[in-house]
Structure 1
Amino acid sequence: MPTARIAAGRTASGQGWQAYGTNGIYIDVDTSAAHFSGSPIYVTSVSGPGGNQWNLVGPSAVYDPTATKFRVYLQWRDASPLSPATAQQYGWFIQWIGYDNP
């Protein structure tokens, strides 16, 4: 009988961000190393040494979660342009915790 599993991780600082239109970015987070077998619940945050995370919308919203990945979209609170270069400049990364109870 499968048992519950908890795992955590983070993406690389400033890497992996993609443009989503002109006002947003997204990142696909690989969780395959956690070896989840069901449909995990993910809790996320954005962090980085460059700051400005307080002014973002979306860091805790998880899209398309599976046992091996999920996606997070970000935009500035005022909807001004945001690009992957900004995420790289600030060194943003996604921290995550997953709980899987198959």
Structure 2
Amino acid sequence: MPTARIAAGNTVSGQGWQAYGPNGIYIDVDTTSGRFTGAPTYVTSITGPGGNQWSLVGPSAIYSPTATGFRVYVQWRDGSALTPATAQAYGWQINWIGYDNP
């Protein structure tokens, strides 16, 4: 019987963010290092040395989870413009933990 697998990782600080309309950004998170056999349960957080992540919405919402990754969309709480350049300037990264119970 296969055993449960737990793995964790993070994206590269400030890298990989893409525009999603004028007010949001997203990042595709690669979890292949976790070697999951199915779509695990993912838990995320957002960090960065530049700060301001406290005023974001969306970092804990997981979209399209698979054994090899998922997507996260974020925007400012007030809906103002947010670009990938902002994420790069703040050094934002997504931290993740995945739990796969086959």
State whether TM-score is above 0.5: yes
Normalised to the residue count of structure 2, the TM-score between the two structures is: 0.99
Normalised to the residue count of structure 1, the TM-score between the two structures is: 0.99
- Percent identity (aligned): 77
Instruction: Tell me how far apart the structure 2 counterparts of residues 2 and 30 of structure 1 sit (CA, whole Å).
Output: 23
How many corresponding residue pairs?
A: 102
Aligned-residue Cα RMSD (Å) equals 0.4
Instruction: Tell me how far apart the structure 1 counterparts of residues 82 and 20 of structure 2 sit (CA, whole Å).
Output: 9
Q: What amino acid is the match of 2:69?
A: K
For residue 63 of structure 2, give the secondary structure of its aligned residue in structure 1: coil
Shift of residue 52, structure 1, vs aligned partner: 0.1
Shift of residue 11, structure 1, vs aligned partner: 0.2
Shift of residue 2, structure 1, vs aligned partner: 1.1
For residue 49 of structure 1, give the secondary structure of its aligned residue in structure 2: coil
Matches within 5 A, 1:75-94: 75-94=75-94
Instruction: Tell me how far apart the structure 2 counterparts of residues 39 and 82 of structure 1 sit (CA, whole Å).
Output: 30
Shift of residue 38, structure 1, vs aligned partner: 1.4
Instruction: Tell me how far apart the structure 1 counterparts of residues 13 and 6 of structure 2 sit (CA, whole Å).
Output: 23
5+ residue gaps, structure 2, are none
Instruction: Tell me how far apart the structure 1 counterparts of residues 82 and 39 of structure 2 sit (CA, whole Å).
Output: 31
Instruction: Tell me how far apart the structure 2 counterparts of residues 55 and 90 of structure 1 sit (CA, whole Å).
Output: 13
Matches within 5 A, 1:63-82: 63-82=63-82
